[in-house]
Structure 1
Amino acid sequence: MCVACVIDEATKAKIIAYGAKFHEVTKSPYGSDDEIGMLHLIDGTSRSAILGRADASKMFDLSVDHFVGMPGWFGAGDQPYQIWMTHTPQGEIVANTMGVSAEANELVAYSGDSISMYTHCGTHIDTFNHFGYKGQIFNGFTAQDHLGSRAWQKCGPEKHPPILARGVLLDVAGLHGLATLPPSHAVGAADITGCLKHQGVELRPGDVVLLRTGQMALWPDMAFTKNTPGLNREGAEFLAKAGAVMIGADNLTLEQTPSAHDLNFFPVHTYLLAEAGVPILEMAQLDELAAEKLYEFAFFGACIKLRGATGAPMRPVAMPLS
């Protein structure tokens, strides 16, 4: 059954994807100053409803560790994750950076460190300023008017509210009886409807939808980054028109790589972020949810508020529903 056929007109008016035009940025129905898109469907009522059903006695951590040598997006020359010590107990005894007595440095064991990474490293969200069309991003904000020397002035992760919503797992690898989907497998409408039927769940407006491709079976080998099975535009349209407020996966890019589109090297990113107003979650650890056959759950995640960034780390968790 077509998703659009089971959504009434009043609800369609709240779903940005119904106003989208191919390869054009969409003006938000939530106003000219809107920077969060479909996250508007999360409100006090929806949060209270899902929180009232959440069983916090068991929690599933959906994030990966950050560590030197971890897989990541290096396809455009972006830096890998690095960490280094800035203070060590013995180093402070020698360098005395705090300007205290030798006795104090011997008493107090001081350690500190710094990190450097691409903002799309590890489990993270993609914000609307990450991809757009012809110099514009979601809601018509432009690079000419809204991009400074250091960061975007619009649509950064600092605008995102903490996300507390119903989560739905679509175990596409499990549907096919595979540990991981074949390289570059395209997850379209058939896989999605097959999962919904196989798992006995339904999509509802306001859901966070997570796709399991099985790619985490390759983690942390660099093979994780190559020829990823993932969502195609058809599948992305299906989920966006169902009213998803965020769409994520357990792979590097959410979408199928390499792109099947001649010109657009990230057709799902551009569609979801610029046309449909749906933020993206990538590199989520979903194997434990799949092993428990937990296809419906309470999802909670809050990203780091990196002002104006195009992405930010998130540590999402899932809780069973009572």
Structure 2
Amino acid sequence: MVTPSPKSDTRAASVEQRSTHMADNNPSSGAGRQVATSPYGPDDQIGRLNLMTARSRAEVIANIDASRMFDLSVDYFIGMPSWQLIGDPPYQIWMTHTPSGNVLEGLPGIAREMTEYISYSGDAMTMYTHTGTHIDTLNHYGYHGSIYNNFTEKEHLGSRHWRVSGADKMPPIVARGILLDFAALRGVDMLPDRYGITPEDVEECLAAQGVEIRLGDVVLVRTGRMRAWPDAEQWGENPPGLTRAAAVHLVESGAMIVGSDTMCVEQGPSADPDNYTPVHTYLLAEAGAPLIEVLDLEELAESRVYEFGFFAACLRLRGATGSPLRPWAFPYRQE
């Protein structure tokens, strides 16, 4: 395990020691698991985001080079790749008002001359909340009808949305980020289909890049898959990604959030016969660690920026299991 930074908040470090999964005898298997109880109390709905403190945010801001910024998000457009395999809706956008349509159809209480003078446009959209660059919240996956911190479907899920642990509970993210460039490590543009990243891969990548994981980090995994974006088949099918054992290793090393340039962060399809999504269920239901998916890490990787300030905020969608995210990174200043 990588030793957390000595600058880390001592209270957060104490809680972290009580919430790791060192007793897990078989971190590779997703079978027979249960949701975890948060060390932050029975009302906690943000899990490892509690590792962010006033001190940790101040340290990040003090260390960044604000003259360089990397946008890590993709844009939204009709036909973009998205998760539709089990019936979730694609991204759609349409005009609700156009300048010429307003003149033709009229606006209530507005004279025609005024609609000809003022060109008014408006639009609406629909999409699955896990479309494009987005964050998964702690109510997205669980076990046996329960989610992280023992909230239950029976007691905490309404007719429209969860009453707990939704996107509206997530604070803005200000944290140290690190990039793990596994495609570069293996000397390829993209990792091959279904490549399963292991704990050994993680340690090799850290050593090759000369970085360490510290308590409260946002760890971003580059597979190179974004080079195929937006080709839905090449980008989305059979993605490389983390194995459960690698996800456990990242959390036990200090990761607060894990993200990637793929649709699902984890190796797909799952190689675990007992769990079709072992990384999601581990991170969300057991570790209380949100996931970020569909990140564009190409410019960051090309610039070999492996340590940076990570900033992001989701929409405060009440009870939502996910939300669009606009993340950006500022490189850490060189010593």
TM-score by length of 2: 0.92
Shift, 1:97, TM fit: 2.7
The match for 1:18 is 21
- Identity over aligned residues, as a percent? 51
Cα distance in 1 between the residues matched to 2:283 and 2:246: 11
Q: CA deviation at 1:144?
A: 0.5
CA contact (8 A) 2:5 2:214 kept: no
Alpha-carbon distance change, 200 to 17 in structure 1, aligned in 2, over 3 angstroms: same
Unaligned runs of 5+ in 1: none
**What's the CA shift string for 1:261-319, capped at 9, x where partnerless?**
11311000000000011000000000100000000000000001110000000000000
Structure 1 equivalent of residue 292 of structure 2: 281
Task: Note the C-alpha offset of 1:12.
Answer: 5.9
Question: Which residue does 2:321 correspond to in 1?
Answer: 310
- State the match for 2:268 in structure 1: 257
What displacement does 1:17 show? Answer: 3.2
Aligned 8 A contact 1:17 1:277 in 2: no
Uncovered stretches (5+) of structure 2, i.e. residues with no partner: 25-31
Give the Cα separation in 2 of the matches to 1:149 and 1:258.
31
Which of 202, 207, 211 is the equivalent residue of 2:212? Answer: 202
For 2:152 and 2:22, locate their aligned partners in 1 and report how far apart those are by CA, in whole Å. Answer: 19
Q: Say which of 98, 102, 119 aligns to 2:112.
A: 102
User: Could you say if the C-alpha distance between residues 98 and 263 of structure 1 is closer, same or farther in structure 2, counting changes exceeding 3 Å?
Assistant: farther
Q: Would you say the 8 A contact 1:26–1:139 is kept in 2?
A: yes
Asked whether the equivalents of residues 207 and 243 of structure 1 are also in contact (C-alpha less than 8 Å), the reply is: yes
How much does 1:70 deviate? 0.2
SS in 1 for 2:192: coil
Structure 1 contact 205–244 (Cα < 8 Å) conserved: yes
Residue 4 of structure 1 and its aligned partner are, at CA, apart by 7.6
CA contact 1:42–1:206 (8 Å) conserved in 2:
yes
Deviation readout 1:143-180 (Å, 9 max, x if unpaired): 00000000000100111110000000000011001100
Q: What's the CA shift for 1:320? A: 1.1
List, as ranges, runs of 4+ consecutive aligned residues in structure 1 with deviation greater than 6 Å: 4-10
Q: How many residues align?
A: 321
1:171: which partner in 2? 181
State which of 154, 163, 167 in structure 1 corresponds to 2:164. 154
1:35 is displaced (CA, Å) by: 0.3
Partner of 2:29: none
Q: Which amino acid aligns with 2:314?
A: C
2:231 matches 1:221: yes
What CA distance in whole angstroms lies between the structure 1 residues aligned with 2:65 and 2:179?
Answer: 17
Superposed CA RMSD: 1.8
Per-residue deviation, residues 221-273 of structure 1 (Å, max 9, x unmatched): 01211000001101000001112111000001000000011131100000000
- 2:76 aligns with 66
Show the counterpart of 1:211: 221
Q: Secondary structure of the equivalent of 1:18?
A: coil
Distance in 1, Cα, partners of 2:319 & 2:63 = 34
1:198 Cα deviation after fit: 0.4
**SS state of the match for residue 14, structure 1?**
helix
Q: Distance in 1 between matches of 2:22 and 2:46?
A: 16
